[in-house]
Structure 1
């Protein structure tokens, strides 16, 4: 089943707003930032479906017009159900100049025999920034479904001036690559990736990385966290752990730090 979500964030009189919105079942989008005073746009993506089903194809099309800021939020954990074939998700994000976009969704829970491929292609303008993440869990641990999925892939590409500046490809396929082997997740059951990329010139990349590393130190018993700096103004945060909620809250904390860098609106 093809499922569509399209949202355009506009900017007028110093405030970001929903300029256009189109959804099909099972999607629903609601505003969640009514009490915030920063004039940015906060939207939550909701679904009437219990999760992603065999044959589903999600199409997400997001556009930010100049000077707009949009933060998308998820409603709950995303379940990938048992599949005979596969399910797909394609996300397209177009960011004009002087924009800011953030999407830190809840963790993904792959059920036994699920097969899911997600691809995101992002075009970022000048003086802009993006914060985007994903967390993959081992599945329904209490049901004995520890990495019994068929395959999971999340491919992320970020372009600036039509040049590929960031590419991240996470693939989990337990039948081909033992998930607990050295160099993979080893003893851990949850893996998270958060990408931050900015085309602004005044970003203190090293200072932000130090702040994140210091914050991660308090979770040393529960998670292992590493940060890789990019040549440009950006970095990738990787986290390994045994629980999705702790990792998700840590990513939300990082999002809050980075989101406050955007003082345009």
Structure 2
């Protein structure tokens, strides 16, 4: 089943707002930032489906006008159900000049025999800021389905003025690789990735030092952060609990949003 969501964010008189939206079942998109005072647009993706089923193809398109700021949220964990084939999701985001896009979704829970392919394509114009993350769990751990999924892949490509500057490919195949071995999950059960990138010439060095100092010794978490070749950084975290990693990323999002994105 092909499911589509397309949103256009506009900017007028210092305020960002949803100008246009198109959705098909099971998607919904709702504003959730009525009480925010930063004049950014806050939207939540909602779904009447319990998760992705065999053959589902989610197609998401976000267009952000010059000067606009959008913080996109999700309603709940994304569940990937048993599949004979596979499911997929493609998200395309276009940021106009001087715009901001921040998206920290809930973790993904791949259940037994699921096969999922995700592709994020982000285009930044000049003077933009991007924050994007994903967290994948081991599956339904309490139901005895730890690492019982077949395939999880999340490919992210970020372009600045048409030039590819970041390419990240997370590929997990528990039945084909030593999933908890050295260089992969190393005994942990959950993995998270967070990317911050800007085309405004803002150095990430202070943020890298601050985040490493704050989270580098977090209990039951392996935390790593490194600078990108372009202005930005990437965070990799390993842990045992989805909520812990999700809240860690939300804290980082809040810090960047308040001190950097909205200046």
The two structures have a TM-score, normalised by structure 1, of 0.97
**1:1-265 equivalence runs, <5 A:** 1-201=1-201, 203-217=202-216, 219=218, 221-260=219-258, 261-263=260-262
Aligned residues of 2:203 and 2:232 also touching (Cα < 8 A)? no
Q: CA deviation at 1:44?
A: 0.6
SS at match of 2:187: coil
The ranges of structure 1 where at least 4 consecutive aligned residues each deviate by more than 4 angstroms after the TM superposition are none
CA deviations over 1:167-208 (Å, ceiling 9, x no partner):
00000011211201111102100000000000112x241100
What is the number of equivalent residue pairs in this alignment?
262
C-alpha distance in structure 1 between counterparts of 2:228 and 2:111, whole Å: 34
SS at match of 2:159: strand
C-alpha distance in structure 1 between counterparts of 2:249 and 2:137, whole Å: 15
C-alpha distance in structure 1 between counterparts of 2:225 and 2:141, whole Å: 28
SS at match of 1:158: strand
C-alpha distance in structure 1 between counterparts of 2:116 and 2:261, whole Å: 33
C-alpha distance in structure 2 between counterparts of 1:33 and 1:89, whole Å: 26
C-alpha distance in structure 2 between counterparts of 1:181 and 1:222, whole Å: 17
Q: CA deviation at 1:88?
A: 0.7
* More deviation, 176-185/125-134: 176-185
SS at match of 1:62: strand
Aligned residues of 2:134 and 2:194 also touching (Cα < 8 A)? yes
Task: Specify every segment of 5 or more residues in structure 2 that has no aligned partner in the other structure, as ranges.
Answer: none
Question: Over the residues paired in the alignment, what is the CA RMSD in angstroms?
Answer: 0.9
CA deviations over 1:65-106 (Å, ceiling 9, x no partner):
000000100001100000010001011101110000011000
Task: Specify every segment of 5 or more residues in structure 1 that has no aligned partner in the other structure, as ranges.
Answer: none
